[in-house]
Structure 1
Amino acid sequence: MKKQTIPKKRPIKNSTKKKDSQKKYVMFGLGIAALLGGGYLAFNFFRNREAQQRSIQEPIPIPTPRDIVTKPILPVASSGSFPLRRGARGSLVQMVQNALLQKGGQAALIIKETSLRAGQPDGIFGRGTERALRAAGLPSVISQSQFTSLVGKTKNTTGFNPGMIANEIIGAANKRNLFGVLNGLKKIQNVNQYRQVSTFFQNVRILGVRVTSLVNALLSVAFKRKELEKVKIRAEFRRMGLKQNTRGIWFVPNLNGIEDFDSVEDQIENEWNLAIARKPTLLKSQDGTFIVPEVLPQTVIGYITGIKNGTTQILTQSGETVFAPAQNVSVL
């Protein structure tokens, strides 16, 4: 009788475990692929951004109020800067030169030879003006009292005497005499004459308050709360040719500047904003000469009144128009 052989049982494979293991490998592979793909995309992103930044000019930072010099000493001889000496420029110097011309004699000849441009005094206190002063028997450095004596008492062939008109308006303003003020204002015919009269208001006291200009003296001090009186005074200023911007600031329009913007959008965005030097900058005067020393960074230069072909036109706090490279100026 044959012995029956029982076959051995084969081990059963765990198909479920095998499937789980395969899924792990697949997920692991996908994770590595995603990681590599993400790294490649990030690398391209940063590389492209760096390339773009190299081609784009760095934006001008907006200065914080604590970093801004709100009352700078600008490299411009303001109309209230005394004494006047060599290197000064502006309306005060021009008035001195005009007075020397009116005196005649050797002083007038020297001014004609050295200090005229296009037939008009250049407003630059140089060697010629110094020589003319000495020829007239005057010192080469002019104090405020000497200026008043020279300019206010010089006989003017046109009959216009800025010193006398200024004294008339100052006296009437201190009494709040509207008729006296209007009578004085009617003697001023244009913006050039306004400049000359307004010069005499630098540091003058009206009703105990120190003023800086004719407009300031009348509208901000003498008749500050007199609205009806101010209507008549404003009308006189407009007749002379003065203008008022959208912020209510009165200014003497520039006669020889660019008075223009590259675009309407540029004008809307920048006109009458404050111009601030963002780096050391040499300003240029209306006659084309550079004004030294240079303006330091974070200095408020004045109000923007024009931007054309990379040049910014600025009305300074002294009432003088200057020019600066647009790239050197930030806006506040």
Structure 2
Amino acid sequence: MNDATSSSARARVLEAARRVLITEADALYLLAEQLPEDFTAVVDLILAAKGRVVVSGIGKSGHIARKISATLASTGTPSHFVHAAEASHGDLGMITRDDICLLISNSGETSELRDLVAHTRRFAICMVAISSKPASTLMKAADYRLILPAAPEACAIGMAPTTSTTLTLALGDALAVALMEKRGFVAEDFRIYHPGGRLGAQMATVGQLMHDGAELPLVEAETPMSEALIEMTSKGLGIAVVVSGGTLRGVISDGDLRRKMSNLMTHTAGEVANTDPVTVPAGQLAAQALALMNDRKISALVVVDEEARPKGVIHIHDLLRAGVA
């Protein structure tokens, strides 16, 4: 293959990719303009539910259903996925009268969903359907209908689930985020469901990672520097926290020691300390504390309460070990 042929082939590949992305992007804009009429009712329904949102589908819709369920569960809406085929062989027992079934089928005629549909009708379990065919069997049976706009699939033959699965996934995300906002779901709530890995570390608070109690290198302002150095060294955090009457009066760092090396031992901790140290509250995100350390070029921060009383010390090594960086 010569350079011209290779360049032409590459151009065709890139053009196909752009066509897919533009087709799906146009469909998403259409969905945003034509959100299903039952969307807000479904959000209210889920908020009021005593049970879980049971999501199901088959094939590509099954993969999307599993992801929607996972997103709901991780953002404060109890949910689990039931495989449509397995439901017919005992997993219908996983669905209770307090649950809401969210069934997905682009055509609305998926035979594997029939037992699930029949189960919801028999036991008066609320059923929400997602489909692009409002006149389909599934949509006629549903209590609430989330209708996808008519949009072409992005594949060259117009048959492989591409645009339709993208729209379904996006609609599921829209549901999850709308539910988050109505629940008042905040960053700390998010971390409860994501304690592991880098995401969990990014959502950790200073109070969860700081040194406190006996680990705090606390000295009174009147403490001789000879004693302050012992406390500073023994706690191994690179600083001494200077207090008076329980309130923060300053911080002694390695830099403060170097700047006042002359006749250091003749001074008290209060005389050597930086009286305007950088502090953070215990509720601040650890990632924000790391950004502050990098900005100020310091390795430790004193954690204080609303009355400027020291509650802990957070060191950059603690953040690195936790995977915040």
TM range (shorter): under 0.3
TM-score between both structures, scaled by the size of structure 2: 0.19
What TM-score results when the alignment is normalised by the length of structure 1? 0.19
**Which entry has the higher C-alpha Rg, 1 or 2?**
1
- Which of the two has greater helix per residue? 2
